[in-house]
Amino acid sequence: MRHTRHGWMICFLLLLSGVSPASAQSVTDRLGVPGPVSFQGTEFALAWTSNPSPSYFKQEYVPAGEQVENFNQMFMIEAETSASPEAAAAAQVDMLHKRKGSDPVVNYDLIRNDATDEIILDFVLSDSSSGTTIVEWNAYRYAPLNKSGGVALYAISRRGYGDQARDFLIGLKEKRSPAINALASFNTPKLQPNP
């Protein structure tokens, strides 16, 4: 569980800081989902992949014209073969609790589906360390990876930048529930982690 927490936290902090992971690696489908991924009427193309440990695989998809470094919306698919949905969600919630002291925007809600062992975590956070305020809303759907264990993550992330950050937060009231419902009913592809 400890490794999972740090892996997801590091990737998220890289995204917020504007560091380009794409510049360091070529795009190689590592999960058997080359894209595009269709979500709420938008096509997301595979833009970045990583295999930071033998058990952790991450892929990020963005719409045409957007970049991983400064996206407005991104779809993510991840697989962690050594964690469970419960452990992965708990690690993310722990990270959010730790941010509360330095991020006044942090807020989250957790929805459990005991019938499927899935968890949806939706959360909002912000960062202004680069001089430009970034507000980011995410919905993470944690699901069992397969019968042997592991966790699959299917997620949507949306951002507002600078002067648009306030309007972005206000607009979440209308857009949050439809996005969560779409993620909950998203037809998940079977993941095949491959380093």
Q: Exposed, middle or buried: residue 45 (CB in 10 Å: 0-12, 13-18, 19+)?
A: middle
Question: What three-state secondary structure class fits 92?
Answer: helix
Q: For residue 168, give Cα distances in angstroms to 38, 89, 100, 137, 180.
A: 22, 25, 20, 9, 16
CATH 3.10.590 for domain 2-184, yes or no, is no
Q: What is the pTM of this model?
A: 0.86
Assign 26 a pLDDT band (cuts: 50, 70, 90): low
**Lowest-pLDDT choice from 13-22, 42-51, 159-168:** 13-22
> 147 CB contacts (<8 Å, ≥6 apart)?
none
More confident residue, 181 or 12: 181
pLDDT in tens, 110-142: 999 999 999 999 999 999 998 999 999 999 999
Question: What is the pLDDT, as a whole number, of residue 194?
Answer: 85
Instruction: Please tell me what DSSP assigns to residue 71.
Output: -
Question: What is the pLDDT, as a whole number, of residue 176?
Answer: 97
pLDDT in tens, 87-108: 999 999 999 999 999 999 999 9
Question: What three-state secondary structure class fits 148?
Answer: coil
Distance, in Å, from the CA atom of 2 to the CA atom of 6, rounded to the nearest integer, reads 7
Of 14, 19, 37, 194, nearest to 47 by C-alpha is 37
